[in-house]
Amino acid sequence: MLNRSKSCEKMKGPKKGVLMLHGLISSPYELRTIAKHLNDHCFNVIAPLLPGHGTRPGDMLEVSRNDWRDAVEYAIDELSKDSNEIYIFGISTGGALAVEYTLKNDNIDGLILFVPAIDLPKKTALAPFIKYFKKWVGRYDDKNIIKYESLAMNAAAEVYKLSKEIQRSFRKNAINTKVFAAFTYIDRTIDGVASIKDLLVATDPANRHITIYHPEYVTVEDSIKQKGGVTLINSTVLSKSVLSMSHNAMHNGFNDEYLGINGRYRDCLHYYDDTEEYGKCKTSKSVLVGETTKENLAKGLMVRNSYNIMIDSLLRDLDKFFELE
């Protein structure tokens, strides 16, 4: 937990606290850029390690979404002890848990959602059945020190069930608090377009700020871009070799020593079965970065980016949402 500094005690107004929830197979490390920014602005910050994470990939074979829910409820209780204005920030699966908690409780003053796993690709629907015959969606060397690379089929099944439960809740309930959300329109992990549409239905246009990052070669549907409270941003920056923004890039600073532009880790799992290309991806000085779509991969050697070169503008938008300016 990051507590407010002593200098913050002189500030007037409510004590703000934010619960920060990481994504599936990840860890609180991916929250550090946003967490530090908010703590510098006098937020109490709690960023728990969700059950099944941060140990070994095999622990995801038995974990359940109820374990994650229990962790969320416990963290909210702890945060409430020294905060009287509560927010939840969630990435991907963490975003889905944040949405679900807010739909069931009235003690949340705002939601911040980065690529929330509200809808998943259709093939994920098979995970609850396949897990009895196949343990892993993918099994890798797990060289990433801040998250698993291997993904247990059970974990995918639990996130799928969570997403379907949220969709059913949306048919009866809306989100009755202010919402800041950021999506990448082309997303290989979640169904980004469907997730955006669901959130548009479940939120009040006057009470939301939804940013959608899209590559320059993709046109966003009129049914989305014409809605109130929606901002579109071109995520293609060819001068930086960025073709688009991946699911894993939104929340990380570009100067991060592990995941940033010059960081020690590169996500090259899309080449894992091709030893030569995998090696080139890991070591080449000349690579493209973006989401690993067929269109992007056809353009040359590429890394699935894990940093956001537009993070500064995103943080400024967050400041406006929190009325920090």
39: enclosing H helix or E strand? helix 32-40
Rg (the chain; Cα; Å): 19
The CA distance from 7 to 230, in Å, is: 36
Residue boundaries of the structural domains of the chain: 6-234+309-321
Per-residue confidence band for 324, with pLDDT thresholds at 50, 70 and 90: confident
How far lies 98's CA from each of 47, 75, 285, 301, in Å? Answer: 13, 12, 39, 36
How far lies 37's CA from each of 173, 183, 254, in Å? Answer: 32, 20, 14
Q: What percent of the chain has pLDDT over 90?
A: 93
Model confidence, pTM: 0.96
Q: What is the pLDDT of residues 220-270, one digit of tens each?
A: 999 999 999 999 999 999 999 999 999 999 999 999 999 999 999 999 999
Judged by average pLDDT, the poorest of 41-45, 69-73, 158-162, 192-196 is 41-45
Place domain 6-234+309-321 in its CATH homologous superfamily: Alpha/Beta hydrolase fold, catalytic domain (3.40.50.1820)
Q: What is the pLDDT of residue 14?
A: 73
Q: What is the pLDDT of residues 98-142, one digit of tens each?
A: 999 999 999 999 999 999 999 999 999 999 999 999 999 999 999
Q: What is the pLDDT of residue 162?
A: 98
Q: What is the pLDDT of residue 323?
A: 85
Q: What is the pLDDT of residue 261?
A: 92
Average pLDDT over residues 162-184: 96
